[in-house]
């Protein structure tokens, strides 16, 4: 990975916690996917999107997507570890200015796990992409 904008690891300490911030590795992907799913588990939109698809199937699908995204240009991945427990408690994916590249063709072939509300996923991401086209200026921002 190219040089970072800050020099991890960094330890942040508050009266109740100490967190160690560091660059992540592909080995961290399963923890990231589990953290995301757990953080949004009670979100009605997530429940509607995942429908009857089991948690472990959804996390496995997310892991496959992350593995494809990881080596693409302009990305940095960081994690926060609870110093007391060693548990990963947060993840950050930063996309820095770079020459945009389309996702690998294999990403389109991943599909969705059985039970996912594909129509809702399409509508949700369709709105995100519509707004991105309105607000993101690719020539200035990448």
| Helices marked H in 3-137 | 29-40, 44-50, 55-69, 105-108, 118-135
Question: Checking DSSP bridges between strand 10-13 and strand 18-23, what pairing results, if any?
Answer: antiparallel
Domain borders along the chain are 10-141
Give the whole-angstrom CA distance, residue 115 versus residue 51: 6
pTM strictly above 0.85: no
3-state secondary structure of 41: coil
Phi/psi at 75 (5° precision): -115, 145
Closest alpha carbon to 63 in 94, 95, 93, 26: 26
Residues 29 and 63: their CA atoms lie apart, in Å, by: 6
- pLDDT greater than 80 at residue 21: yes
The end-to-end CA distance of the chain, in Å, is 19
Q: Give the model confidence (pLDDT) of 53-105 as tens digits.
A: 899 999 999 999 999 989 888 888 999 999 999 999 999 988 877 676 777 77
């Amino acid at each position: 990975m190219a040089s970072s904008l800050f020099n991890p690891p960094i330890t942040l300490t508050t009266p109740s916690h100490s967190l160690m911030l560091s660059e992540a590795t592909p080995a961290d992907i399963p923890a990231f996917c589990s953290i995301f799913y757990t953080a949004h588990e009670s979100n009605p939109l997530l429940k509607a999107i995942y429908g009857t698809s089991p948690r472990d199937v959804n996390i496995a699908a997310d892991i496959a997507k992350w593995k494809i995204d990881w080596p693409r240009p302009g990305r940095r991945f960081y994690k926060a570890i609870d110093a007391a427990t060693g548990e990963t408690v947060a993840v950050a994916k930063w996309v820095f200015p770079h020459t945009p590249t389309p996702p690998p063709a294999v990403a389109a072939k991943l599909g969705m796990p059985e039970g996912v509300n594909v129509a809702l996923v399409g509508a949700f991401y369709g709105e995100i992409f519509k707004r991105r086209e309105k607000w993101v200026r690719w020539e200035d921002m990448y």
